[in-house]
Amino acid sequence: MARDNVKLFSESVDVLKEAYFDDILEHWSCTACLVGNLIANRLDLKIARDNEWMTMKTDYEPFILPIHLPKYYWISENGETVKAQWNHVFNSDMLDVQHRHPEYYRGEAKRQLDATGFTWQELAEMEFAFESTKKLKTDTDDDYMFNGLMRGIEKMADILNIDLNAKEQAKRPFAMKHKSRKELRNQP
């Protein structure tokens, strides 16, 4: 059966809209990033945020100090924690390098990726667009998230051959939410 690109785009944008509006979209989290949110939605998993912060230690220059990130995880309908496996197939590092390992596209990783309606290669492109967004010194965390999300949606629209009007219309609610968050931050 042929894939309905317009429907897939619309449904995926709705998932990301909910994630962004509910603050469960996060860079560098395999369960709460762009791909993680799409998988969680399709597999009926809840994304939960732990009150603890996870520390990523890296040897990459200039990231020698630990990086503290909120800890997210998936919970199934029966309350069990579900481990992300898709990130064994591809992932991006903080040096804007994407690592792809198609030999791991099997078992649970394949099931998670296939649930989205995209190929794993398409998801890898969207994930890289989202994760390789630079955070400027003047950017707030929300600016950084918004900019990455817009890049991810642009890439998704390009992959699915979505026309420019539909692409811009899909991005409008995100821009409005981002603008309202900025206005709230700037109130005295």
Question: pLDDT for 71-92, tens place per residue?
Answer: 788 999 999 989 999 999 998 8
pLDDT attached to residue 27? 85
Residue 188 located in a structural domain: no
Residues in the chain: 188
For residues 127 and 135, the answer to whether their CB atoms sit within 8 Å is no
Domain assignment present for 35: yes
Return the closest-CA partner of residue 148 out of 7, 19, 1, 2: 19
Q: Which residues contact 159 (CB under 8 A, 6 or more apart)?
A: 118, 122, 125, 126
> Does some domain include residue 23?
yes
Tell me, what's the pLDDT at 103? Answer: 97
Rounded Cα distance, 12 and 117, in Å: 9
Residue 22 lies in a domain: yes
pLDDT recorded at residue 52? 57
Task: Provide the number of structural domains found in the chain.
Answer: 1
The answer as to whether 157 is a domain residue is yes
Spans of the chain below 70 pLDDT: 51-70, 94-95, 188
Q: CA dihedral defined by 129, 90, 174, 136, rounded to 10 degrees?
A: -50
> What's the confidence (pLDDT) of residue 95?
67
69 domain-assigned? yes
Task: Confirm whether 12 is domain-assigned.
Answer: yes
If DSSP codes are grouped into helix, strand and coil, which group holds residue 113? helix
C-alpha distances (whole Å) from 20 to each of 102, 109, 154 are 29, 24, 16
Find the domain containing 130 and state its range.
Answer: 5-181
187 within domain boundaries: no
